[in-house]
Amino acid sequence: MAVRLKDIAQDLGLSVVSVSKALRDHPDIAEETRRRVLKRVGELGYQPNLTARSLVTGQAWTIGLVVPDLLHPFFAGIAKVISSDIRAQGYGLLISSSDEDPDLERQEIERLLARQVDVIVLASTQSSAAGLRRMVEQKMPCVLFDRRLDGLDAHFVGNEDQEVGALATAHLIEQGCRRIAHIRGPEVSTAAGRLAGYRQALAAHGLEPLPGHVAPLGRSGDHRGERAGYEAAQRLLATPTPPDGIFCYNDPSAMGAMRAILDAGLRIPEDIAVIGCGNVSYSDFLRVPLSSIDQGGEAIGRRLAALVLDLADKKNGRRLSPTTDLVAARLVPRASTLRQPLVKDDTV
């Protein structure tokens, strides 16, 4: 017969509630008690009945996550952090990818709604909140991250993207670039914000984009970003006045742009400096190490996990008003932009 939670509680002289809390690493339970429970669970091979637990608590003990691209290191890193943090509280994570397709995203959300997950975490490809009508009608708790969506009454965790764009562009200007182009992302808030920051930084230094110097990636902002970045950079190189610096929407598009520049026989950063966004883990190991804006992905993941655990805890009847939690981005300069050596303060 299958071992029940009740059996373990009787065996150890504890209440069922105490055993349940010990399995969920609840702070109310002493460390010695938790060790006793885990030891006995291991000996008996206990497996929790998730269906029964859901019927008792009214929770699925599952969080749904929808991202534009599962292969993109930024989104993969976010998923890893959320999964690790919520697992410690007894929750599981269902992950799906929209592949930057709004219709596919809606289908994936429908599947999560059918599974009655406790919270949906979403980096959306939608152009408006209208595409998420079903989720709103079912009053599903939702947390947006990385990408904002006007008209949706939801929490948001991410960066101030206009600051991201201004930070990247100002760095190129500081390195002596004056014909600065931008490879623009798809029609989502991150792309719009970074474009605005790019224009803001240029204007602050008395500059403006030259004709043809804003090159769109199309729909492939994250999905197949390297190929789209390569093609966008080729278009920039063919303009009457080619750029001497390029700020790319993200790191995959920047890697594609660097390949196009090198294939054209040009040097990075001497002829064209390149900066991306995302600071993917292998940026430092490229043929030319890539300068990037670090979005604080781990911090975003940890804040998302804490927020969804609050939202999923239906037992205390908590209703959190929508919040905006901004994580500071930082410049990570590397060889792809450093025409001038970094100044080090040896007096510190």
Cα 20 to its chain centre, rounded Å, is: 32
Residue located via tokens 């993941």: 301
Under 8 Å CB-to-CB from 173, ≥6 apart: which residues?
180, 201, 202, 205, 207, 245
Residues 93-138: pLDDT tens digits?
999 999 989 999 999 999 999 988 999 999 999 988 888 888 888 8
**330-332 and 273-277: which strand pairing?**
unpaired
pLDDT tens, residue by residue, 188-228: 999 999 999 999 999 999 999 999 999 998 765 455 789 99
CB-CB contact of 58 with 314 (8 Å): yes
Is 278 in a helix, a strand, or coil?
coil
Cα separation, 237 vs 36, in Å, equals 67
Dist. CA 38–CA 61, nearest whole Å: 20
Whether the pTM exceeds 0.75: the reply is: yes
Q: Does residue 345 carry a pLDDT above 50? A: no
pLDDT tens for 22-44 read 877 778 889 999 889 888 888 88
Other beta carbons within 10 angstroms of residue 294's beta carbon come to 20
Q: Are strands 291-294 and 330-332 parallel, antiparallel or unpaired?
A: antiparallel
Fold of the CATH domain 161-295:
Rossmann fold (3.40.50)
Six-digit token string for 334: 């590397």
Sign of CA dihedral 181, 185, 188, 189: negative
- Give, as one character, the DSSP assignment of residue 68: S
* Cβ atoms within 10 Å, residue 331: 17
pLDDT value at residue 25: 72
Distance CA 199, CA 206 (A): 10
CA distance 109 to 135: 8
- Close Cβ partners of 278 (under 8 Å, ≥ 6 residues apart): 72, 73, 74, 250, 251, 252, 292, 293, 294, 295, 297
Yes or no: domain 56-159+297-327 corresponds to CATH 3.90.1150.10: no
Within the chain, all domains assigned CATH 3.40.50.2300 are found at 56-159+297-327, 161-295
